[in-house]
Amino acid sequence: MTEDASEDDRYSVTFVNRRRVLLAVGGIVLTSFPAARLDPAHSAEVPARHHVPAKRRHEAHHVAPAYEVPSYPLNQPLYYINDASKAIALTIDDGPDPVYTPQVLSVLHKYNVTATFSMIGEHVAAYPQLARTVHEAGHKICNHTWTHSDLVGMRVPRVRDELTRAGDAIHAATGVHPALFRAPYGAWSRAVIRQCERMKMVPLDWSVDPRDWSQPGVRKIVRNIMRNTQPGSIILEHDGGGNRSETVKALRIVLPRLLDEGYHFETP
Indicate whether this model's pTM tops 0.85.
no
Gyration radius (Cα) of the chain, Å: 17
Residue 157's pLDDT band, with cuts at 50, 70 and 90, is very high
Is 152's pLDDT higher than 50?
A: yes
Report CA 199 to chain centroid distance, whole Å.
Answer: 16
Handedness of CA 121, 127, 128, 133 (dihedral sign): negative
| Cα(161)–Cα(122) distance, integer angstroms | 13
Please name which of 214, 211, 218, 219 lies closest in space to residue 243, comparing C-alpha atoms.
214
- Whether the bond between 203 and the residue before it is cis, its omega within 30 degrees of 0, is no
**What pLDDT score was predicted for residue 66?**
57
Whether residue 198 has pLDDT greater than 80: yes
Higher pLDDT, 33 or 92: 92
Buried-exposed string 248-264: b where 16+ CB fall within 10 A, e elsewhere: bbbbbbbbeebeeeebe
Contacts of residue 111, Cβ cutoff 8 Å, sequence gap at least 6: 255, 256, 259
Cα–Cα separations (whole angstroms), residue 39 to 42, 91, 180: 6, 19, 22
Confidence of residue 39 (pLDDT cuts 50, 70, 90): very low
Domain spanning 83-265, CATH architecture: Alpha-Beta Barrel (3.20)
Residue 220 has pLDDT above 90, yes or no: yes
Spell out the domain ranges in the chain.
83-265
Active site residues: 93, 238
CA torsion 112→113→119→124, rounded to 10°?
0
The stretch 60-84 carries a mean pLDDT of: 73
pLDDT in tens, 74-130: 999 999 999 778 999 999 999 999 999 999 999 999 999 999 999 999 999 999 999
pLDDT at position 83: 79
Q: What is the pLDDT of residue 264?
A: 96
DSSP 175-231: S-B-SEE--GGG---HHHHHHHHHTT-EEB--SB---GGG---HHHHHHHHHHH--T
What pLDDT score does 63 carry?
40
User: CA-CA distance, 243 to 223, in Å (whole number)?
Assistant: 20
